[in-house]
Amino acid sequence: MRSGLETRFRTQLIIMIHAGTQANLHVLKKNSAKASRQVVFYSL
């Protein structure tokens, strides 16, 4: 039987990971043009 504290911690962790993923996706979209140019440059 899982304790309530563990369940709450796990839920909090999932929320943090999800929020971090959303923030990273936003930054990636914002920098996608610059990043794709860098990728093309590095792959030459």
Closest CA to 9 of 17, 20, 24: 17
For 1-40, write each residue's pLDDT tens digit.
Answer: 678 888 999 999 999 999 888 888 888 787 776 767 766 7
Dist. CA 40–CA 24, nearest whole Å: 21
Dist. CA 3–CA 14, nearest whole Å: 17
Q: At residue 44, does pLDDT exceed 70?
A: no
Give CA 13 to chain center in angstroms.
13
Give CA 24 to chain center in angstroms.
4
How many Cα atoms sit within 13 Å of 33 on the Cβ side? Answer: 1
